[in-house]
Amino acid sequence: MPYPRDARRRAMMTLLAGSTALAGVMAAGLALASSSAPLGGTPITGALLREPQAVTAVDGVTSATLTAKAAVTRIAGRRVVSTVFNGEFPAPTLVVRPGDLLRIADVNQMPTDPTNIHVHGLHVSPSGHGDNVFVNTPAGHTFVNSYRISKNQIPGLYWYHPHRHMYADNQVSPGMAGAIVVKGSIDEIPGIRDRRDRVMVFQRAQVGTDGRVVTPPLDTTKMHTYINGQLQPVIDIRPGEIQRWRIANAQGDSFLRLNMGGRTFWTIGTDGNPEPRPVATDTMLIPPGGRREVLVRGGSPGTMGLTTLGWGEGPQTVAPAVLATVRSAGIPVTGEQLPGAIYNLPDLRTQTVAQHRDVTFSFVPLPDGSPQWAINGKMYDDYTSSTNLFQMKLGTTEEWTLRNTTTEYHPFHIHVNPFQVVSINGVPQKAIDYRDTVPIPPNGTVVIRQRFTDFTGRFVIHCHILFHEDHGMMAPIKVVR
């Protein structure tokens, strides 16, 4: 449920001044490190890209214990103090299949802050011990989430992170996040099967000279974007080889605009939703929370940079930077082909619309001048446990017009069900374009359609710039029979 207003105000002041949890983490982390090697130092660049640890199913059950606590972890090869799961940056990759049971024990060993877990993009129940972001797990407590992965869950890349309102940004930004890979029929398609499959979790942090992750306010000129916890790693590929890259933007607030020297990315999935066939592009704009699955072919022997291009204005400015070096070397590979048809999702533009709705994102500063954002004029704490922005019927298709009245992009995200993008700023989408996170342009509109299937219950929509979400830009919705 929304949290009491006095608690919200206390948390707001905490967020503006810096996370209490991170402050405790730093002190505890330094104590942990006092008898061993020093923290910090010069970051290591140029190491071969490593994969996050993977947790796989045993007899159809993937079980993981995620302990959030003060930890000395490694970022860019340095010993660093931060708030992370299990002492890892990023957290382990959870691997499941449709029909499996995913069980996550969320162990909160942070000094003061509450938390919870959201499985971003998974089509699972939002109720009880499922993807229930209304759960509040206080410091010193454990909550066990249990998700039955639907038989119709689309294979692809998803991710998990804390979603406790007012604390999400300050828990995701230091590194509390990891990937979820759903295996399935798509993985057996010729042209995808037998390709080298690489998970790349992009996270952004500022590390101080004392080896501690810096709490807000942050200096963006001193922040770096890491891939699997590494700074500017080397991604190895053989000439002519085709690899599958699963890219997750697990940054709390920043966009990625990826480019590889003009070479082609062949997109086969967006936010876990497969394309009908590979789509060629040389630049990908990925919002916070967004994912892309692409096929990449190794070029002639040599190196090139995987970069994020300059993008955005004001507080959303992203400076251009080299994020990795792609090194093509070794015995050339010949004969590898791209897949043909991949997967056909239903075109909701052909279906009857049960309801049209408007969803407006706006900036509404509080009387004391502190920042606040709203959806349809209401902030998240304006709702009670029994009130919702919308109530939808199970099995129906709705069309929503997402409006942005601000000068910033707002990545719209909905839990449980993906949606189809119909148009952006009045321009119809030619292809069938499914996502779970879409940027609404400044002073612009996005029209989406979605069908509510399988699950009833209460969940949320929000801006996936987590600072905005924590400061009001989220609303509860409910699906009923």
Based on the domain organization, do 226 and 367 belong to the same domain? Answer: no
Q: What pLDDT does residue 319 have?
A: 93
**Same-domain check for residues 12 and 91:** yes
Query: CB burial class (10 A; 0-12, 13-18, 19+) of residue 133?
Result: buried
* Per-residue CA distances from 166 to 262, 375, 447 (Å): 40, 16, 28
- Domain range holding 136? 5-188
User: Which phi and psi angles does 470 have, rounded to 5°?
Assistant: -65, -25
Cα distance between residue 322 and residue 242, in whole Å: 22
- Domain membership of residue 236 (yes or no) is yes
Q: Is residue 385 part of a domain?
A: yes
Q: So what's the pLDDT on residue 36? A: 65
How do residues 433-447 score in pLDDT, each as one tens digit? 999 999 999 999 999
- Count other C-beta atoms under 10 Å from residue 9's C-beta: 15
If you search the block for the tokens 């983490």, which residue do you land on? 25
Q: What is the pLDDT of residue 224?
A: 95
Read off the pLDDT of residues 338-352 as tens digits, 9 standing for 90 and up. 999 999 999 999 999
pTM of the model: 0.94
Low-confidence ranges of the chain (pLDDT < 70): 1-36, 216
Do 19 and 167 lie in one domain? The reply is yes
**91 and 154 fall within a common domain:** yes
Residues 423, 475, single domain; the answer is: yes
Boundary residue ending a domain (188, 211, 243):
188
Domain count, the chain: 3
Task: Give yes or no: residues 366 and 471 share one domain.
Answer: yes
Are 276 and 294 in a shared domain?
A: yes
Q: Is residue 343 part of a domain?
A: no
Residue at 304 is within a domain: yes
Q: Tokens representing 317?
A: 């400015």
Residues 158 and 291 grouped into a single domain? no
- Regarding whether 172 and 54 lie in a shared domain, the answer is yes
* 205 and 307 within one domain: yes
CB 479 within 8 A of CB 457: yes
Claim to verify: residue 159 and residue 212 sit in the same structural domain: no
430 is written with which tokens? 């030619």
Please tell me whether residues 141 and 28 are part of one structural domain: yes
